[in-house]
Each structure stands twice: as structure tokens, then as C-alpha cells.
A and B are shown apart, each in its own frame.
Chain A
């Protein structure tokens, strides 16, 4: 891991102590560099970006309405292109609510148009900025403000859906594996077209995790296979980045109060779901050796 070239996230922003989202944002920004304009919809990220007249980011930020991030970034991109600023990066920093749910329609359309945008989803698996309610990224059985008995359905598979748009690049990453994350941001900088990176960002308050355990939890998420690190290029070339699944999902659940009260059958259900997801991913990665006709 190299030394951070330039810190584009200012100190003094309003994120919670120990926030993994702020940490992730800091590294993504540093990798992107200063010739970047960010689109940040309502989210914890927007809290870090403000309030007026201060700015937490040393780059221009446009804050769109919640349902409109990818569409807004498209308009911004086209305007910069029209003004000859084709090398300036346009990046979306959005939460999972703004991505998986209310912003999903325009996200799909921007991907279909293959707009030249990097979209980074800071996925903390719920509406954490409004006090931890369920989104379609919230995992099975997790308790939130709107699922007090635990969410009855599984998490939406954003990477698979977006890869199915045949976009140049869709990947998962995590600040627990920083060299992998930075490599992915650098890789997308050199690409054109629609690129998506989904970062798993434990929300300390929303998930019920001690302040000093956020980063450790991102590693547990990967090592338990709950959040595998992988890349999909052009919709079909899957690459598993590792580390691979090596420990039971129980280890990941135990440190989070959002999973409190799970019985053995629930834990077994989650283990089976993780195993099935992992098997599907492996099958994709193995098919990778054969180019499509």
C-alpha cells in the first residue's frame, strides 16, 4: 500500500467517531485525485460534505435529490464533456438507500446508456442517516427500526444486477482490504463507461458494533463469505479477489446486535444462504475461462 497522495477529505466533518464510511471515503477520494466532481445525494456522506458554508471535500460537490444520483451525474458528465473537460472524473458517492431503492431506476438507465461515470455505493445495509431503517440491501434477519423482528427477506444482489447490464466494471470492495480497494479505484480511473464499486461499510450505531470494531468487521464479512470481494468486467468476466471464505458466518453475526436473538435454525439458514451465494460466484468465476461465442 502506497502513502496517500493527497487528503481530499478535511478533518472536522460530522461523521460518528470510528465511522468506516468516512475512512472509506477518504481513501477513495485520495485515489481519485483532485480533478473530480462528486455527486452526493442525501446520506451520511452528505453530512460529511456539509454544512454550508463549509465543505468536507476539497473537490466540487453537487448534492441532488435522493432519487436522482445517476441521472444527475449523467447530466454533469455530459456538460463537462460539452465544455471539453473529458478527463475530469464524475463520481457518485451514494448510500444503499439511494442506490438499491429510490435511486435504482435511474441507476439502471445510466448503466444502460453506459454513461462515463464511476458510481461508488457506500453500502451500510440500511437507512442509517435517518436512524437505521430497512433498505433492500438489509440482510436477512437483521433488525432495523422498520424491521424490529428481523428482516424476513434476503439482501438484493446489486453487483449481479448491475453486471447484468453488461457495464465495463462492477466490483465489491472494502476498506478492510485497502490495497484491493485502492487497486480497484485506480483501475476504474483508467476505464471509460459506467463503473460501479460497492463498498461494505459497517455502521457502528446501526449494526450495534463497538466503535473500535468497524474495520475488524469488514474483514469478518469477507472471511465468512458474507461479502466476497470480486470484480465483473463487461458483464461476464468474473474475478474473485480473496481472501476466500474461510470461517463460519456465526463469527460475523456474533459481534453485531442487529442479529441479536437469532436461534440456531436462523444461523443455519444464513450459513446455507452464504454457502449458496459463494457456490454461485465460484461457478461464474470458473465459466470465466470460456469466452462467450
Chain B
């Protein structure tokens, strides 16, 4: 069916179609409509999951992990401070190789209090061992929930999909909602290799030696390395079923581009307009949308940016003492590349400040004219 949905409601529909068995969830602006629609589905008998509403996001993630280890498919959603409160458990989930899928609505992190789009919340979790995907639209959010389960269960890793506050979470769009049969054909029931169950006698969390700990980390590393291929396979199969594919990177008008704008999430929508305007004005500009941020697909980024002279990174986040997280990561990925592009970073839209297409056009002209600086500049 085709429905007019917000990003949040598209996430809830995606979760419903994935048939999660345990859903612990705590309300937080601007994620709350995800929770409310899931509990409505549950009350109407349309979602046969165990719903838990604990007292905090810490407890939500604490419940998610052993639920997944006990063989249940698990979904949750959060934002901002909720994600911050989960931080300890995010590491714990990845260490336990629990294939949880969580939607995070990107919102400013206090203090001071604010409720605007800003991706510092999830980018600050980049070292926790979660796969991170960033989406641009409600349709992409719905599709990504289902794809996230394929990736999570293939790699035994938790997956976080990120959608920007309000621009995606609350904007209404026409969304194709696949029927349940399509979702079921795509996503078979969860059947893990290991399981907390008296019939099996397996445990998790015991104290380990240095060597065992190191081996666990190396296995986590190997699992992460399998994610780009797993994500591409999940996307290809989804495209074959529904006609919609999103890739792990998207090159928009990048052919022959002298300048590539690189960014995450809803900023990509604005950047598309800026690219069109630049192309109309005779500037060979393109957009490289980074959909998969963890693991960072370094080889794919290098291939996508080969031959580009200037790269303009737009970071709607701020890491004090470094600048923009994507800027830092991209420079790391391109370091040592033959004929590497010049990379200029801008802190654009931090705290939810509006960034219209005209602003991106202006930044593109600056990037073309000025030598890039080491630090990201405030746009």
C-alpha cells in the first residue's frame, strides 16, 4: 500500500513488518511517535511482540541484549539523551554480538537543552561496535529497518539506523509500505547459532583472560569487515523484491565531477538541490551520500572519489577539539591515496541551524577557491 507517513511512522511500520518478538522502548522527543505507533499496533493485535516499557533507556538496552541472546528478534528506538544513557550497554551489546536493530532520531545533546536535528548523538557512539546507517527519507527509513535485520543477523552485530530529528522524523511523505508477504520473503524468522536456554546450557559474560578478550575484539573486527558486503547483498535483494535500492554510498551526479559534496542523512536532500543549481551554473559538482558510516567503507569511498579535485564535507555534528566527525573520518580514509582530492570540512547546521541549498552553493564556491584548511570551518 502507499501511505502518507512521517519518518517515525515509517520506522514503526518497518519494525512491524520485521516481526520483532521483544520490543523494549522508552519515550523521548522526537522518537516518541515510533513508540506510540508500535504500542498501537500491539494493542490492535497487529504486532505479536512482548512490549516492555522500562524506566529508562539504560534498562531498555539492558533488556534488549539478553532478549536477543535468548533467541528473540529485538527492536527498539531512541534519540539523543536516551542514546547517551545507553552508552555502556551499546558496547555491551556489540561485545555480546547481539543483533539488535535500533532506530535513533538524531537530536542535539544537552547541555544546554535543545530539540533540533544534530548527529553528534550517534556519531559519538562510533567506537561502540554498532553498525551505523544514516537515512534521508521516510521511505528509506522503512526499507532500512528491514535491511538492518538482514545485516545484523548475517554479521551478528547490532545495527543503528539514524534519521534526523524533524526533517525526517516528522516530515510527511508518500511511502510504499510493502505487504507482509514481501517482508516475510525477505526476512526469515531469526534462528541464531547460539542461545541462552537451559536445553543448550550456553552462557554469556563470564570473565575472560587477556588473550580471550583480544580474540573477541578481533572477531568483532572480522564481523565488521563483512558488513559492507552483507549490506550490499541485503540492499540488492530488497531492490529485486521492491524495486528500491539505496546502496552503502550513493553517487548523485558525480560523473565528471570536479567537486563532490559528502554528507550524511537529511542534509543529502538539500545537497541534491545545491548540486543541481551548481550544475545549472556550469560547476561540475556532485553529491556522495554516505549511508553506511560504520563500518566506514574506506575502499568504496576512495573509489567513489577517485578523480575528484575538491571534496566538501558537511558535518551536522561537532566534536570539540577535532571539528566535524565525518570530515575527520573521510580524511583518514583518503590518506595516502594517489591523487587524493583536497578535502575541506564545514560545520554546517550544528544545533539544527538551517542550511538552505544556497548556503551549500556558497560553501562549494569557497571550497573551489580556497586552499583547504586542516580544521573544519564553521559554516
- The reply to whether B72 and A106 contact each other, CB–CB distance below 8 Å, is no
A37-B70 Cα distance, complex, nearest whole Å: 10
B49 proximal to A (CB < 8 A): yes
Known: A36-B198, A62-B196. A68 touches B204 (CB 8 A): no
Closest approach, in angstroms, between the C-beta of B219 and any C-beta of chain A? 14
Instruction: Give per-residue flags for A65-90: 1 if the beta carbon is below 8 A from chain B beta carbons, else 0.
Output: 10110111111101111110100100
Which residues 44-88 of B sit at the A interface, judged by CB distance below 8 A? 49-50, 52-56, 58-60, 62-72, 74, 88
Choose one: A49, A71, A75, A76; the contact of B58 (CB below 8 Å): A71
In the complex, how many residue pairs between chain A and chain B have their CB atoms under 8 Å apart? 153
Collect the chain A residues with CB atoms within 8 Å of residue B88's CB: 65, 67
B2 proximal to A (CB < 8 A): no
Collect the chain B residues with CB atoms within 8 Å of residue A88's CB: 197-198
B60 and chain A: residue at smallest CB distance? A71
Choose one: B49, B204, B209; the contact of A63 (CB below 8 Å): B204
- The reply to whether B66 and A64 contact each other, CB–CB distance below 8 Å, is yes
A76 and chain B: residue at smallest CB distance? B66
Collect the chain B residues with CB atoms within 8 Å of residue A62's CB: 66, 69, 196, 203-205
- The reply to whether B203 and A65 contact each other, CB–CB distance below 8 Å, is no
> Interface size on B (CB < 8 Å)?
42
Known: A51-B208, A55-B206, A60-B198. A68 touches B62 (CB 8 A): yes
Closest approach, in angstroms, between the C-beta of B365 and any C-beta of chain A? 50
- The reply to whether B203 and A75 contact each other, CB–CB distance below 8 Å, is no
- The reply to whether A50 and B207 contact each other, CB–CB distance below 8 Å, is yes
A52-B58 Cα distance, complex, nearest whole Å: 26
A35 proximal to B (CB < 8 A): yes
A46 proximal to B (CB < 8 A): yes
A60-B207 Cα distance, complex, nearest whole Å: 15
A34 and chain B: residue at smallest CB distance? B198
Known: A51-B208, A60-B203, A63-B204. A109 touches B54 (CB 8 A): yes
- The reply to whether A61 and B206 contact each other, CB–CB distance below 8 Å, is yes
A112 and chain B: residue at smallest CB distance? B55
- The reply to whether A68 and B89 contact each other, CB–CB distance below 8 Å, is yes
- The reply to whether B58 and A106 contact each other, CB–CB distance below 8 Å, is yes
Collect the chain A residues with CB atoms within 8 Å of residue B207's CB: 46-47, 50-52
Choose one: B55, B66, B196; the contact of A106 (CB below 8 Å): B55
Collect the chain A residues with CB atoms within 8 Å of residue B70's CB: 37, 75-76, 79-80, 83
A105 proximal to B (CB < 8 A): yes
A54-B88 Cα distance, complex, nearest whole Å: 26
- The reply to whether A79 and B21 contact each other, CB–CB distance below 8 Å, is yes
- The reply to whether A75 and B206 contact each other, CB–CB distance below 8 Å, is no
Which residues 1-51 of B sit at the A interface, judged by CB distance below 8 A? 21-22, 24, 49-50
Which residues 74-117 of A sit at the B interface, judged by CB distance below 8 A? 74-76, 78-83, 85, 88, 105-106, 108-110, 112-113
Choose one: B63, B74, B203, B209; the contact of A71 (CB below 8 Å): B63
- The reply to whether A78 and B59 contact each other, CB–CB distance below 8 Å, is no
- The reply to whether A79 and B198 contact each other, CB–CB distance below 8 Å, is no
Collect the chain B residues with CB atoms within 8 Å of residue A65's CB: 62, 88-89, 92
Known: A60-B201, A80-B70. A72 touches B63 (CB 8 A): yes
B281 proximal to A (CB < 8 A): no
Collect the chain B residues with CB atoms within 8 Å of residue A58's CB: 201
Collect the chain B residues with CB atoms within 8 Å of residue A74's CB: 24, 52, 54, 59, 63
A59 proximal to B (CB < 8 A): yes
B221 proximal to A (CB < 8 A): no
- The reply to whether A75 and B55 contact each other, CB–CB distance below 8 Å, is no
A163 proximal to B (CB < 8 A): no
- The reply to whether B62 and A37 contact each other, CB–CB distance below 8 Å, is no
Collect the chain B residues with CB atoms within 8 Å of residue A47's CB: 207
A78-B68 Cα distance, complex, nearest whole Å: 10
B339 proximal to A (CB < 8 A): no
A46-B203 Cα distance, complex, nearest whole Å: 12
A170 proximal to B (CB < 8 A): no
A110-B209 Cα distance, complex, nearest whole Å: 33
Closest approach, in angstroms, between the C-beta of B75 and any C-beta of chain A? 12
Closest approach, in angstroms, between the C-beta of B53 and any C-beta of chain A? 8
A39-B70 Cα distance, complex, nearest whole Å: 12
Choose one: A52, A63, A75, A105; the contact of B52 (CB below 8 Å): A75
Known: A52-B208, A63-B204. A109 touches B65 (CB 8 A): no
Collect the chain A residues with CB atoms within 8 Å of residue B206's CB: 49-55, 61, 63
Known: A50-B206, A61-B203. A79 touches B66 (CB 8 A): yes
Closest approach, in angstroms, between the C-beta of B190 and any C-beta of chain A? 10
Closest approach, in angstroms, between the C-beta of A189 and any C-beta of chain B? 14
A60-B21 Cα distance, complex, nearest whole Å: 21
A2-B228 Cα distance, complex, nearest whole Å: 59
Collect the chain B residues with CB atoms within 8 Å of residue A59's CB: 198, 201
A55-B198 Cα distance, complex, nearest whole Å: 14
A61-B66 Cα distance, complex, nearest whole Å: 10
Collect the chain B residues with CB atoms within 8 Å of residue A54's CB: 206
Collect the chain B residues with CB atoms within 8 Å of residue A72's CB: 62-63, 65-66
Which residues 192-243 of B sit at the A interface, judged by CB distance below 8 A? 196-198, 200-209, 212
Which residues 128-175 of A sit at the B interface, judged by CB distance below 8 A? none
Closest approach, in angstroms, between the C-beta of A117 and any C-beta of chain B? 12
A88-B70 Cα distance, complex, nearest whole Å: 12
Closest approach, in angstroms, between the C-beta of B11 and any C-beta of chain A? 21
A37 and chain B: residue at smallest CB distance? B196
Q: 5 other contacts beyond A78-B52, A78-B67, A79-B70, with CB at 8 A cut-off?
A: A51-B209, A55-B203, A60-B200, A64-B62, A108-B55
Using a CB–CB distance below 8 Å, which chain A residues touch chain B? 34-37, 39, 46-47, 49-55, 58-65, 67-68, 70-76, 78-83, 85, 88, 105-106, 108-110, 112-113
16 A–B contacts from the bound complex (CB under 8 Å): A52-B207, A61-B203, A63-B203, A64-B66, A65-B62, A68-B62, A71-B60, A74-B59, A75-B64, A76-B70, A78-B63, A79-B70, A82-B72, A83-B21, A106-B59, A109-B59
